């Protein structure tokens, strides 16, 4: 039998229905598993095992009576720290400023609560969610379960680590430049960023999305049945749509798949990742798709303009802090945002306008192809104590060149594990579709996942010393 902490949400629900397992069985196994992992990983925030076990006990009673309340009743989930849950403070990776408990659930938390999923914990993120790293001045360092001296990436760092380490099947991250897909790639899990507005989120912002982080495409699709329900608090939400997210059948024959190996700027692509993407593309070709070489969509001007705009935006947040509070922020964030106070309004506007240039460039791709396959990350791994793959605050976004254009363009994009490096680290590939084609991206990912047919492989907890 599959270890309880590695069972998918679908497997758990089947076991509950057949009375082979109860939510309490699963919760107790998870708590034991987390006890072994968490001192090494540091992936969780707001983890209260007693409350989790009590909620699991109540869910078990409902299943015994044959009266589960929701379609996810008894399935463990985590939510990124930045996603509000009523009664828990949102430290924003820093613990600075007002730390009052949230007064209501944000939309993703509310949807999963409506379906009676069991909230195991929140997950860690770096300062202000503005690093692709597991480093945080408040949470400390979150480590990659495949190798504890390696980084998870971020900013959904704890979610990536928790998913890979088996802290239950369902996890939710947020993504404004790659923050779901990057840690998914470096941690070897599925990370799905839908079309902006498909999953309502609060607060909303240009390019900001919530998305599933799971160990299978099936579980990501299952989460969409809850997360994609509408919520008026998000003024960018899409109109409600009736989609059978769990129907993942797709005939790939005739689809034109663009293969984008070059990012246009940023870090050079590692050869092992390039081979993984090329191999994955060949699997889609074997299924009947036509492969089309694609030029990059991103330019240096676009990435640098976005950098200037984001520096200015970050400085506006830092400026609101006292000097004492500011000194507690990670030095890399301070060093990066410092220029934001000297960037003129005209420069900031010009930087923001590069988001529109990205939108035009990404949307134009789909005049010629039905979907795109690319790397998710340019590099295989980087040290756990680095703040980014460059570890240079003046070059903070060289690693997001494959992911950030699709945030600004609002297209759905999914990262999927496509194998492992010579040193045993995961290699992520990214699938992208045109706006609103979220379901087709999931179907294409399921097709690729099936054809890759990777042998199940997950990290083992460190041996106690």
- Among the options 22, 59, 155, 156, which is catalytic? 155
- Among the options 59, 60, 80, 122, which is catalytic? 80
DSSP 367: T
Q: Which two tokens stand for residue 285?
A: 């070709």
Give the helix, strand, coil percentages of the chain, each rounded to 5: 40, 15, 45
H-helix or E-strand spanning residue 209: strand 209-214
Strand pairing partners for 214?
170, 190
Question: Is 155 annotated as catalytic?
Answer: yes
Q: If we measure between CA atoms, which residue out of 91, 177, 102 comes closest to residue 126?
A: 91
Question: Is 464 among the domain residues?
Answer: no
Question: Is 306 among the domain residues?
Answer: yes
User: Residue 406 — φ and ψ, nearest 5°?
Assistant: -80, -20
Question: Is 45 among the domain residues?
Answer: yes
Question: Is 216 annotated as catalytic?
Answer: no
Question: Is 461 among the domain residues?
Answer: no
Q: Which domain holds residue 435?
A: 4-452
Question: Is 460 among the domain residues?
Answer: no
Q: If we measure between CA atoms, which residue out of 362, 366, 371 comes closest to residue 447?
A: 371
Question: Is 33 among the domain residues?
Answer: yes
DSSP string, 390-457: S--TTSTTTT-TTTHHHHHHT--EEEEEEEE-TTS-EEEEEEE--TT-HHHHHHHHHHHHHHH-PPP-
Question: Is 465 among the domain residues?
Answer: no
Domains of the chain: total: 1
Question: Any idea what the CATH number is for the domain that residue 41 is in?
Answer: 3.90.1300.10
Q: What pLDDT, on the 0 to 100 scale, is given for residue 11? A: 97
Q: What pLDDT, on the 0 to 100 scale, is given for residue 311? A: 97
Question: Is 459 among the domain residues?
Answer: no
Per-residue pLDDT of the chain (465 residues; tens, 9 = 90+): 689 999 999 999 999 999 999 999 999 999 999 999 999 999 999 999 999 999 999 999 999 999 999 999 999 999 999 999 999 999 999 999 778 999 999 999 999 999 999 999 999 999 999 999 999 999 999 999 999 999 999 999 999 999 999 999 999 999 999 999 999 999 999 999 999 999 999 999 999 999 999 999 999 999 999 999 999 999 999 999 999 999 999 999 999 999 999 999 999 999 999 999 999 999 999 999 999 999 999 999 999 999 999 999 999 999 999 999 999 999 999 999 999 999 999 999 999 999 999 999 999 999 999 999 999 999 999 999 999 999 999 999 999 999 999 999 999 999 999 999 999 999 999 999 999 999 999 999 999 999 999 998 999 988 754
For residues 31 and 465, what is the distance between their CA atoms, to the nearest angstrom? 20
User: Residue 414 — φ and ψ, nearest 5°?
Assistant: -135, 135
Using DSSP's 3-state secondary structure scheme, residue 103 falls into coil
- Among the options 60, 179, 216, 415, which is catalytic? 179
Taking the CA atoms of the chain, what radius of gyration do you get in angstroms?
21
Question: Is 460 annotated as catalytic?
Answer: no
Q: What pLDDT, on the 0 to 100 scale, is given for residue 272? A: 98
């Amino acid at each position: 039998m599959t270890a309880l902490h590695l069972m998918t949400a679908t497997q758990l629900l089947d076991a509950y229905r057949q009375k082979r397992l109860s939510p309490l069985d699963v919760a107790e196994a998870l708590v034991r598993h987390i006890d072994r992992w968490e001192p090494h990983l540091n992936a969780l925030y707001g983890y209260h095992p007693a409350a989790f076990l009590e909620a699991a006990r109540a869910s078990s009673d409902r299943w015994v009576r044959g009266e589960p309340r929701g379609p996810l009743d008894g399935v463990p989930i985590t939510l990124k720290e930045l996603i509000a849950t009523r009664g828990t403070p949102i430290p924003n990776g820093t613990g600075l400023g007002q730390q009052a408990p949230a007064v209501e659930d944000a939309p993703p938390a509310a949807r999963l609560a409506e379906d009676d999923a069991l909230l195991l914990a929140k997950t860690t993120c770096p300062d202000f969610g503005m690093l692709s790293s597991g480093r945080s001045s408040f949470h400390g360092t979150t480590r990659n379960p495949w190798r504890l001296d390696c980084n998870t990436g971020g900013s959904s760092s704890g979610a990536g680590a928790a998913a890979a380490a088996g802290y239950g099947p369902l996890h939710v991250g947020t993504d404004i430049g790659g923050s779901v897909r990057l840690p998914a790639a470096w941690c070897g899990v599925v990370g799905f960023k839908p079309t902006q507005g498909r999953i309502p989120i609060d607060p909303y912002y240009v390019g900001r999305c919530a998305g599933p982080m799971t160990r299978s495409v099936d579980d990501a699709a299952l989460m969409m049945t809850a997360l994609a329900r509408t919520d008026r608090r998000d003024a960018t939400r899409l109109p409600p749509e009736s989609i059978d997210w769990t129907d993942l059948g797709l005939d790939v024959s005739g689809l034109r798949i663009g293969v984008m190996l070059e990012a246009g700027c940023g870090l050079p692509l590692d050869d092992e990742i390039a081979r993984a993407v090329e191999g994955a593309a060949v699997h889609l070709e074997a299924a009947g798709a036509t492969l089309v070489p694609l030029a990059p969509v991103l330019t240096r001007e676009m990435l640098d303009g976005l950098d200037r705009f984001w520096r200015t935006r970050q400085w506006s947040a830092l400026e609101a802090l006292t000097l004492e509070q500011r000194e507690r922020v990670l030095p890399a964030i301070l060093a990066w945002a410092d220029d934001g106070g000297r960037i003129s309004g005209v420069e900031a506007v010009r930087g923001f306008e590069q988001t529109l240039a990205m939108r035009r460039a990404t949307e134009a791709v789909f005049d010629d192809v039905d979907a795109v396959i690319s790397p998710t990350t340019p590099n295989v791994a980087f040290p756990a104590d680095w703040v980014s793959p460059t570890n240079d605050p003046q070059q903070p976004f060289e690693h997001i060149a494959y992911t950030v254009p699709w945030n600004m363009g609002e297209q759905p994009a999914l990262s999927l594990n496509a194998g492992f490096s010579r040193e045993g680290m995961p290699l992520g590939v990214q699938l992208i579709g045109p706006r609103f084609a979220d379901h087709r991206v999931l179907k294409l990912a399921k097709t690729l996942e099936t054809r890759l047919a990777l042998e199940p492989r997950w990290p083992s907890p460190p041996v106690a010393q």
